[in-house]
Amino acid sequence: MCGIVGYIGSKQAAPFLLDGMSKLEYRGYDSAGIAVLEKGQVRVEKCVGRLDALRQKLEGNMPESVIGIGHTRWATHGRPSDRNSHPHTDSSGKFVVVHNGIIENYLALKEELIAKGVEFSSDTDTEVVAHLMADLFDGDMESTVKKVLKVIKGSYSLVFMCEAEQDKIICTKKDNPLVIGLGEGENFIASDIPAIINHTRRTFIMSDGEIATVTKDGVWVQDIEGTPINKKVFEVNWNAEAAEKGGFEHFMLKEIYEQPKAMRDTMTGRVNAEEKTITFPELNWTSEELQGINKIFIVACGTAYHAGIVGKYYLEQLARVPVEVDIASEFRYRSPLVDGNSLCIVISQSGETSDTLAALRESKRLGARTLGVTNVVGSSVAREADQVIYTYAGPEIAVASTKAYTTQLLAMLMLAIYVGRLRGTLAEEQAKELVGGLASIPEQIHKMLEDVDQIKVFAREYGSCEDAFFLGRSLDYAVALEGALKLKEISYIHAEAYAAGELKHGTLALIVSGVPVIVLATQEDVYDKTVSNLQEVKAREAVVIAIGFEGDTSLAKYADHVIYIPKTGKYHAPLLAVLPLQLLSYYAALTRGCDVDKPRNLAKSVTVE
């Protein structure tokens, strides 16, 4: 959470900082602020609210400087307010810092500083860092930063400036992302690449414990002992436009429409459409290697966790390995029975989610083999997992995950087919049928996205409801979970997903006249039972919107409305069935006037526990 930027060069810093922060608002948008060294002095400008509020504040009074740092906040310690906005300074105002993460021992440090007479002006954990800089300053910024790092505990990306050394910015990180952009006579710092991509493509990613001294003419990286570190510079090959809205009203809608391409890209090099086989050149597993694996753990958060649940169905049914799926924030606290015969798969779009990373590290500590499924090349998950499968969804900016989810489902299905074949649990014919079905998915999604009028109508009609329910059995249940999350997070409608058979064990009490219930009915083996559950809610006068396959003539007899999706196999159905749910959430959020791309209280990348 929180977005950080920094600039040093010979151009004006403020315009870069504001532009870079606008690309990082997905990381937090409770407040925004910048600090520059203007006429030799630290000048801080910050305020609660979106970046636009800061822009307005600066109109006609833009700070002038060639060095500066900026921050968009996702509040952890201290409510969103002007005083809690970053950057924070020490009492003299000479040391200034921006921070992403949590200083876990800030209370103890704060008490010590207060005992020394320091006065605090915010409720944040970050402010202690600025005061520590002043308290420990020994005339040299780098050595002072090292001293600060020795006393703080927690997770952080930190960027420092001070009046005593006007020609440098210092930054460091632990468990939170930070990238450096290298320019000609200028250098950049950011939490994520979209912030710098308009200025340079030459970047490197900071690793935990590294300290970078960034000047106009170069960047020098060392560890806390002063050992120099040579960083591998790479060229970002994204198109800057890929991170812009490209004519769509919102990133979320753009990303929904990018799903056919995301699917194709994720299949490239893995699906052989002619031979109808799957390969993962990046894994190159052998059947002997897999003999030792007797259990798979899938660990993730939010939408990625929902993809993990689908993955469990795939891996258990096609590869016949027992799979446990865990919410990452719970995993390490339940003493999981992970050992050297376990494979731990962590799924994370960003590859930076703090709990997911912690689960990955815990699995490694327990001796498991680890596999990351992530969308971000060079992310922490990608670097720390033993092996990685990239989803090629392209940058996902909207907080609500859409194309990342469907590519995660696709990756899990391809993986299950691959492992099933290697283990001999999946017959060649069935594998070919599954791969054949996959090849049609991008076109089927494309077709579904051509006409979404019916969904717009439903969103208008039911968008004002306060509660909604999502039901399904088997894989439909897993997709229902994602449908409910999507609706909640962007439209703020209270939504719950249930395994359809579970409803009568309590929740049926909530089904009253007019409540919208979305019933997924794509799974043939449980179809009749799902229809019975549909009738149970109809009998309580719920309004039922069913999702079923084209050609299903029964559903319309029971449901109030039916959204038809192209006919596909049972394992492919989640890839299509989630689409109307994404769109329903999007248009419901629009109907309710919600800020679709930046839902309240949320951030795209959750790098705190």
Q: Which positions are annotated as active-site residues?
A: 2, 604
Compare residues 176 and 350 and give the one whose CB is closer to ligand M6R: 350
Compare residues 149 and 178 and give the one whose CB is closer to ligand M6R: 178
Least Cα distance to 7 among 226, 219, 239, 210 occurs for 219
- Which neighbouring-strand residues pair with 96? 89, 161
x/- letters, 580..609, toward ligand M6R (CB under 6 A): -------------------------xx---
Dihedrals φ, ψ of 382, to 5°?
A: -60, -35
- How far is residue 152's CA from residue 127's CA, in Å, rounded to a whole number? 12
Compare residues 31 and 350 and give the one whose CB is closer to ligand M6R: 350
Residues 197 and 240 sit within 8 Å (Cβ to Cβ): yes
Instruction: Show Cβ contacts of residue 335 under 8 Å, excluding neighbours closer than 6 positions.
Output: none
- How far is residue 178's CA from residue 453's CA, in Å, rounded to a whole number? 42
Query: Interface with ligand M6R includes 396 (CB under 6 A)?
Result: no
Residues 212 and 173 sit within 8 Å (Cβ to Cβ): no
The distance of closest approach from Cβ of residue 252 to ligand M6R in the complex, given in angstroms and rounded to an integer, is 9
Query: Interface with ligand M6R includes 401 (CB under 6 A)?
Result: yes
Q: Which residues ranging from 182 to 221 are in contact with ligand M6R (CB under 6 A)?
A: none
Residues 381 and 372 sit within 8 Å (Cβ to Cβ): yes
Query: Interface with ligand M6R includes 32 (CB under 6 A)?
Result: no
- How far is residue 433's CA from residue 231's CA, in Å, rounded to a whole number? 46
Question: With the C-alpha atoms ordered 505, 506, 512, 518, is the resulting torsion angle positive or negative?
Answer: negative
Compare residues 122 and 353 and give the one whose CB is closer to ligand M6R: 353
Query: Interface with ligand M6R includes 304 (CB under 6 A)?
Result: yes
Query: Interface with ligand M6R includes 303 (CB under 6 A)?
Result: yes
Residues 318 and 435 sit within 8 Å (Cβ to Cβ): no
- How far is residue 211's CA from residue 149's CA, in Å, rounded to a whole number? 10
The distance of closest approach from Cβ of residue 307 to ligand M6R in the complex, given in angstroms and rounded to an integer, is 8
Least Cα distance to 473 among 531, 552, 540 occurs for 531
Query: Interface with ligand M6R includes 407 (CB under 6 A)?
Result: no
- How far is residue 541's CA from residue 527's CA, in Å, rounded to a whole number? 21
The distance of closest approach from Cβ of residue 376 to ligand M6R in the complex, given in angstroms and rounded to an integer, is 8
Query: Interface with ligand M6R includes 468 (CB under 6 A)?
Result: no
The distance of closest approach from Cβ of residue 407 to ligand M6R in the complex, given in angstroms and rounded to an integer, is 11
Compare residues 28 and 302 and give the one whose CB is closer to ligand M6R: 302
The distance of closest approach from Cβ of residue 2 to ligand M6R in the complex, given in angstroms and rounded to an integer, is 15
Query: Interface with ligand M6R includes 489 (CB under 6 A)?
Result: yes
Residues 350 and 375 sit within 8 Å (Cβ to Cβ): yes
Pairing of β 467-472 and β 494-499: parallel
Binding piece for ligand M6R, criterion CB under 6 A, among 120-128, 153-161, 268-276, 345-353: 345-353
Look up residue 366 and give its two tokens: 């327990």
Compare residues 90 and 255 and give the one whose CB is closer to ligand M6R: 255
- How far is residue 529's CA from residue 518's CA, in Å, rounded to a whole number? 15
The distance of closest approach from Cβ of residue 380 to ligand M6R in the complex, given in angstroms and rounded to an integer, is 10
Binding piece for ligand M6R, criterion CB under 6 A, among 130-138, 142-150, 239-247, 302-310: 302-310
The distance of closest approach from Cβ of residue 83 to ligand M6R in the complex, given in angstroms and rounded to an integer, is 28
Dihedrals φ, ψ of 7, to 5°?
A: -145, 140
Question: With the C-alpha atoms ordered 387, 391, 396, 401, is the resulting torsion angle positive or negative?
Answer: negative
Residues 499 and 477 sit within 8 Å (Cβ to Cβ): yes
> SS3 of 543, please?
strand
Query: Interface with ligand M6R includes 348 (CB under 6 A)?
Result: yes
Chain residue at closest Cβ approach to ligand M6R: 302
Look up residue 459 and give its two tokens: 């969103």
Compare residues 45 and 192 and give the one whose CB is closer to ligand M6R: 192
Compare residues 36 and 205 and give the one whose CB is closer to ligand M6R: 205
Binding piece for ligand M6R, criterion CB under 6 A, among 26-34, 71-79, 398-406, 547-555: 398-406
- Angle ∠(274,275,276) on CA atoms, nearest 5: 90
> SS3 of 41, please?
strand
Binding-site residue total for ligand M6R (CB under 6 A)?
16
Of positions 399, 515, 575, 583, contacts ligand M6R by CB under 6 A:
399
Query: Interface with ligand M6R includes 125 (CB under 6 A)?
Result: no
Unique residue bearing structure tokens 């860092």: 129
Binding piece for ligand M6R, criterion CB under 6 A, among 3-11, 239-247, 283-291, 298-306: 298-306
Question: With the C-alpha atoms ordered 394, 399, 403, 408, is the resulting torsion angle positive or negative?
Answer: positive
Of positions 400, 445, 521, 581, contacts ligand M6R by CB under 6 A:
400
Query: Interface with ligand M6R includes 356 (CB under 6 A)?
Result: yes
Residues 16 and 7 sit within 8 Å (Cβ to Cβ): yes
E strand or H helix at 392, and its extent? none
The number of residues making up the chain comes to: 609
Binding piece for ligand M6R, criterion CB under 6 A, among 103-111, 214-222, 342-350, 541-549: 342-350
Query: Interface with ligand M6R includes 349 (CB under 6 A)?
Result: yes
Query: Interface with ligand M6R includes 302 (CB under 6 A)?
Result: yes
Compare residues 31 and 349 and give the one whose CB is closer to ligand M6R: 349
Binding piece for ligand M6R, criterion CB under 6 A, among 168-176, 329-337, 393-401, 503-511: 393-401
Query: Interface with ligand M6R includes 87 (CB under 6 A)?
Result: no
Residues lying near ligand M6R in the complex (CB under 6 A): 301-304, 348-350, 353, 356, 399-401, 485, 489, 605-606
